[in-house]
Amino acid sequence: MDRRVTNYLQQFQVSDLFPVLVQQEMYVATYASCERLFSQCDEADTLYFLVEGKLKISMLSPEGKRLILAFKTPFDIVGDIEYVRNCRFINTVEAVTDIVVIGIPYAALRKDMSGNAAWLKFLLDTITKKFETKTRAMNFSLLYAVDVRVASYLLSMTPTQPMVDSTSLVDMADLIGTSYRHLNRVLHQFEKAGWIMKKRGKITLLDRAALLQQAGHNIYE
């Protein structure tokens, strides 16, 4: 058994949830910033526990727009809904920072955990919270002004460093549910106020406190 798995399970107080046979099937994996764990509609065969770093979860709408659903920090789980429904991944999950996850093959869970009441309760709790999060996320485009969404996005994408890639503003606009033109207008306002600086394909945050005040609170966290 990987000692790192044991240490993480103990750190987040879930060791008792998994029998030894399941723990032996677990493994530690690392992903670099901006690397995808999986994409929407990929075949799903592994559940992941996020134990270090930060993830971004997004989905592609029927209209072809990619929207942010949530940002996740430890301790969190991805792949649980797909495990229960036995379906392909329903969202795209990628690393915002360098991350560490524990992978658990579905096959091991179905073999040794399908009748485990504590495990089923754990899944019910986490999935219920996710549906609440998704409902809130889908309403953000209606409830919050674009400047709030832009400020929150910039804050969420820069947890460990003050810079975010701005080479694809079209993608950023889609993720927060606005137009490229409107996004550019808001970024220009932020830059004029001295809160950010756009240069050489990067957006550097100069005043996090002002952006947080603009957002009121970070709606994506």
Each residue of 13-68: pLDDT tens digit?
999 999 999 999 999 999 998 899 999 999 999 999 999 999 989 888 777 777 77
The CATH code of the domain that includes 12 is: 2.60.120.10
Instruction: Check whether residue 128 and residue 200 sit in a common domain.
Output: no
Domain count, the chain: 2
Q: Among residues 113, 100, 114, which one has the least CA distance to residue 7?
A: 100
Global pTM value: 0.75
- For residue 193, what is the domain's CATH number? 1.10.10.10
Considering the domain architecture, whether residues 122 and 157 belong to the same structural domain is answered as no
Q: Are 102 and 48 in contact (CB under 8 A)?
A: yes
Q: What is the pLDDT of residues 164-220, one digit of tens each?
A: 776 567 778 877 878 889 999 999 999 999 999 988 778 899 999 999 898 876 666
101 and 180 share one domain: no
Domain range for 150: 145-215
Report yes or no on 80 lying in a domain.
yes
| Residue 177 near residue 67 (C-beta atoms within 8 A) | yes
**Co-location of 197 and 211 in the same domain:** yes
How many Å apart are CA 53 and CA 75, to the nearest integer? 10
- The span from the CA of 65 to the CA of 163, in Å, is 24
Which of these, 131, 59, 61, 63, lies nearest to 90 by C-alpha position?
A: 59
The residue assigned the tokens 């869970």 is: 109
Q: Are residues 156 and 133 in the same domain?
A: no
